Amino acid sequence: MYPNRGRKAQLTMENKCVDCGNCCRETEMILSERDVDRIKNSDPKNLQIANFVKKTEDGLYQLKNENGYCVFFDVSTNLCKIYEIKPQGCRFYPLIYDSDKKLCVLDRDCPRPDIFYPNKTSQVKTCKKIVRFLEKQVLFTKL
């Protein structure tokens, strides 16, 4: 489970996302049905689900990529085009769930995970939310 972008408005100058765009490159972000509905219903151009969602081999929803980046990533600004309504998993990033190890880890693609998760306590707290999100909103709605 992956990505996040455009969080700089919430950060101070001293503690700022470096806007590298790594988090939205070749994203594998899993979406809940709620994510899909929220994004689809909020888009002013009547976005179709097929434009931004693909199915994994396990039958889960996943964000689509285009030219190596998430379809919602703006390469000219390095920001998320749907920041206000972005997927729940993007909000948790750079903390992600490693399904092989069955634990939460900080994604190595993020050069400054400490900005978002400065200590173990914050990671543990969000990890519980991630597990709950996966259990209740993702696996529950598996196709």
Residues binding ligand SF4 (CB under 6 A): 3-5, 24, 27, 29, 63, 70, 72-73, 80, 82, 86-87, 90
User: What phi, psi does 36 have (nearest 5°)?
Assistant: -60, -45
DSSP 8-state class, residue 83:
G
- Closer to ligand SF4 by Cβ: residue 81 or 131: 81
Residue 72 Cβ vs ligand SF4, minimum distance, rounded to whole Å: 4
> Min. distance of Cβ 107 from ligand SF4 in angstroms?
12
Taking the mean position of all CA atoms in its chain, how far away is CA 103?
A: 17
* The amino acid at 106: L
- Collapsed DSSP state (helix, strand, coil) of residue 138: helix
Q: Which is nearer to ligand SF4, 98 or 119 (CB)?
A: 98
Q: Which is nearer to ligand SF4, 63 or 104 (CB)?
A: 63
Q: Are 63 and 71 in contact (CB under 8 A)?
A: yes
Report in angstroms how near the CB of residue 14 gets to ligand SF4 at its nearest.
23
Nearest distance, CB of residue 6 and ligand SF4, angstroms: 7
- Distances in Å between the Cα of 43 and the Cα atoms of 5, 28, 38 are 18, 21, 9
